[in-house]
Amino acid sequence: MLPGEFAVEYRSCPLLKSHVALGTVFRCRPSTREEVEQRMNAFSEKRWSSQPAAPSAGCMFKNPAEYPAGRLIDELGLKGTRMGGAMVSLEHGNFIVNDREATAHDVLELIAVLKARVKSERGIELHTEVEIIGED
């Protein structure tokens, strides 16, 4: 297939849920080793200054069109909210970290609490960015 022949959504390509990509073509431009190292260092510095170092599954929720999910969670005072060993990161509201032996049940319950609070207080529906497979 060629670009434009299949649907691509925000951080998702539905076709790849049921099909496998066997190849791709990247369009790149040459750079010096120094340029690449500089860019990699800048990305790394940005990541470690804005995201938690604690174990997590990355960003938990897709950003709604109205407002970034992390900002919504932060403004509602939900950073530090916990269920068992799962906790909303103090560094970034869109991360649930494993603070102390969190179970899948802890994480799923915390997701439900966050979704309910954002919906009731802001009228915005949060959708997980991570794919939840199976049951706890």
Token pair of 125, please?
């529906």
Question: Which tens digit of pLDDT belongs to each residue from 27-72?
Answer: 899 999 999 999 999 999 888 887 888 878 888 999 998 889 999 9
Residue 22 lies in a domain: no
Dist CA 57 CA 97 (whole Å): 8
Domain harbouring 94, CATH code: 3.90.78.10
Q: Report if pTM > 0.85.
A: no
Range of the domain at 86: 53-122
> According to the model, what pLDDT value does residue 136 have?
55
Q: State the total domains in the chain.
A: 1
Residue 26 lies in a domain: no
Residue 83 lies in a domain: yes
Residue 18 lies in a domain: no
Among candidates 95, 102, 105, 94, which has minimal Cα distance to 136? 105
Residue 7 lies in a domain: no
Q: What is the dihedral of CA 23, 25, 31, 32, to 10 degrees?
A: 20
Q: For the sheet containing 86-88, what is the strand order?
A: 56-59, 95-98, 86-88, 82-83
Residue 73 lies in a domain: yes
Please provide the average confidence, as pLDDT, over all residues in the chain.
Answer: 89
Of all residues in the chain, what percent carry a pLDDT higher than 90?
55
Residue for token digits 């992390």?
A: 70
CA atoms within 13 A on the CB side of 50: 10
| Chain centroid to CA 16 | 19
> According to the model, what pLDDT value does residue 75 have?
95
